[in-house]
Amino acid sequence: MKHFLRMFVQVCLYFYCKCLWRCLKFVVRKLTGRCELQRICYNTKPGAARTMKIEASLKGSKSKRLQTSVSVHPDAIEKTIDDIMELKRINPDINPQLGVSLQACLLQIVGYRNLVAEVEKLRREPYDSENPQHEEMLLKLWKCLKPNSPLKARISKQWCEIGFQGDDPKTDFRGMGLLGLYNLVYFAEWDTGIAQQVLSDSLQPKYSQFNKAEWEKKKFDKAIGYSFAIVGINITDLAYNLLVSGALKTHFYNVAPEAPTLTHFQQTFCYLMHEFHKFWIEEDPLDIMEFNRVREKFHKRILKQLQNPEMALCPHFAASESLINM
C-alpha cells in the first residue's frame, strides 16, 4: 500500500510538472512571440548544445509531426522543415535564418540515427573467411601495419605479431564482426604512422624500464604489453557503446556540420586508440590482467569529457568555422 501511494504521488508529480512546463512554455511564447525552437536557435550557439536541445524539444513535443521529424529520411528534411514552420506559424520570410539552422540540426540528428543503424549492420555481419572481400581487407591490415615483412601464409603464427590471439584472426572478431576489421584497417591505412607506433609500443611498452637481467627474471617478456588487434576490437566495442548510448552525440554534433558518417566514426576510433594507448602508459599497469580495469577507467573518463557540450574528441578535424555558423 505504502509502495502504491508513493508511486501514485510520483505519477501525479510527473503530470503536474509536465503541465507546469507546458504552461511556462505557453507564457514565454506569448511574452516573446517566439516558439521553443526559435528560442533555442536564437539563444544557443550552433553545435552540440543547440542540436541536442532541438532534439529534446522535438522528441518531447506534443505534436506527432514534430516527434517523428527526428526519424525522417534525409531527403525529406526540407519538406519536414516547411511543415514545422507551417505548424508553428513561423513566417520564413521574416525568419530566414531559422529554417537554415533547423535544417542543419535535423541533418545531424537524422544522420546520427542512420549512423547507428549503419554501424550496427556492420557489427552484425560476422567475419567470413570464404568471402574474398573480407580476406582482402584482412591482408590489407597486415600490409599496412607490417609493410616490410610479408605474411608467409594466410594461416600463420605471424598474426600474433600484430596482436591477434592465434594463427587465424577470423575467430577474434566475435561480437564486433566486420566493424572491428573496418576500424583496424582504417586506423592502419589513414593514421599509419601512429598505428605502427602504437603497435610497436604495445609489444614492449615497459622494456625500457627494466635492465636485461630483470626482464628475463620476470619472464613477462611476452605478456607485459597488450595485444594490438585484440585491444583494437575491444576499443571498437567501447566506441560502439559510446555511439549507441548517445554519448557520442556531443562529439559528432560538434565536428560534423552535416550528417555524421562512418568515416567520422572511424576517425573517432583512431582517436580513442591513440588516447587509450597514452592512458595505458600513464596508468602504468603491472600487466595485461589489469586491462579491463584500465579500460573501464578510460571509458569513464571519455564519458565525463563528453558531458561537456563543447567537447570534440578529435580536434584535428573539427568543422570549419563557416559551416558551424550556419
Partner 1 sequence: MGLLSILRKLKSTPDQEVRILLLGLDNAGKTTLLKQLASEDISHITPTQGFNIKSVQSQGFKLNVWDIGGQRKIRPYWRNYFENTDILIYVIDSADRKRFEETGQELAELLDEEKLSGVPVLIFANKQDLLTAAPASEIAEGLNLHTIRDRVWQIQSCSALSGEGVQIKDASPARLCSPEGKDDGEAKFSKGTAGSVASSPCSSSEGLVWGLVSSSACRGIFHPSRRFDGEVSSLALGER
Write out the three cell numbers for 67.
Answer: 516527434
By C-beta, is 123 or 251 nearer to partner 1? 123
Q: How many residues bind partner 1 (CB under 8 A)?
A: 29
- In whole angstroms, give the CA distance from residue 262 to residue 243: 11
Verify binding: residue 236, partner 1, rule CB under 8 A.
Answer: yes
Interface region with partner 1, contact rule CB under 8 A, candidates 134-142, 207-215, 262-270, 291-299 = 291-299
Residues 137-196, interacting with partner 1 (CB under 8 A): 160, 165-166, 171-172, 174-176, 180
Interface region with partner 1, contact rule CB under 8 A, candidates 5-13, 97-105, 269-277, 292-300 = 292-300
Selected binder of partner 1 within 288, 318, 324, 326 (CB under 8 A)? 288
- In whole angstroms, give the CA distance from residue 187 to residue 242: 18
Q: Please report the sign of the dihedral spanned by the C-alpha atoms of residue 259, residue 115, residue 49, residue 41.
A: positive
Q: Which residues contact 81 (CB under 8 A, 6 or more apart)?
A: 99, 102, 103, 106
Selected binder of partner 1 within 106, 184, 199, 231 (CB under 8 A)? 231
Which of these, 46, 177, 203, lies nearest to 123 by C-alpha position? 177
Which of these, 32, 102, 34, lies nearest to 66 by C-alpha position? 102
**Mask for 190-229, x = binds partner 1 (CB under 8 A):** -----------------------------x--xx--xx--
Nearest distance, CB of residue 291 and partner 1, angstroms = 4
- In whole angstroms, give the CA distance from residue 309 to residue 50: 9
C-alpha R_g of the chain: 25
- The CA distances from residue 324 to 63, 92, 151, 271, 319, in Å, are 29, 21, 46, 22, 7
Verify binding: residue 100, partner 1, rule CB under 8 A.
Answer: no
By C-beta, is 50 or 134 nearer to partner 1? 134
Nearest distance, CB of residue 191 and partner 1, angstroms = 21
- In whole angstroms, give the CA distance from residue 143 to residue 299: 30
Q: Which residues contact 8 (CB under 8 A, 6 or more apart)?
A: none
The CA-CA-CA angle for residues 34, 36, 309, to 5°, reads 130
Q: Which residues contact 125 (CB under 8 A, 6 or more apart)?
A: 177, 178
Selected binder of partner 1 within 216, 282, 287, 310 (CB under 8 A)? 287
Interface region with partner 1, contact rule CB under 8 A, candidates 80-88, 128-136, 231-239, 310-318 = 231-239
Selected binder of partner 1 within 112, 127, 187, 240 (CB under 8 A)? 240
Nearest distance, CB of residue 326 and partner 1, angstroms = 36
Nearest distance, CB of residue 230 and partner 1, angstroms = 5
Verify binding: residue 296, partner 1, rule CB under 8 A.
Answer: no
Q: Give the residues lining the site for partner 1 (CB under 8 A).
A: 160, 165-166, 171-172, 174-176, 180, 219, 222-223, 226-227, 230-231, 233-234, 236-237, 240, 287-293, 295
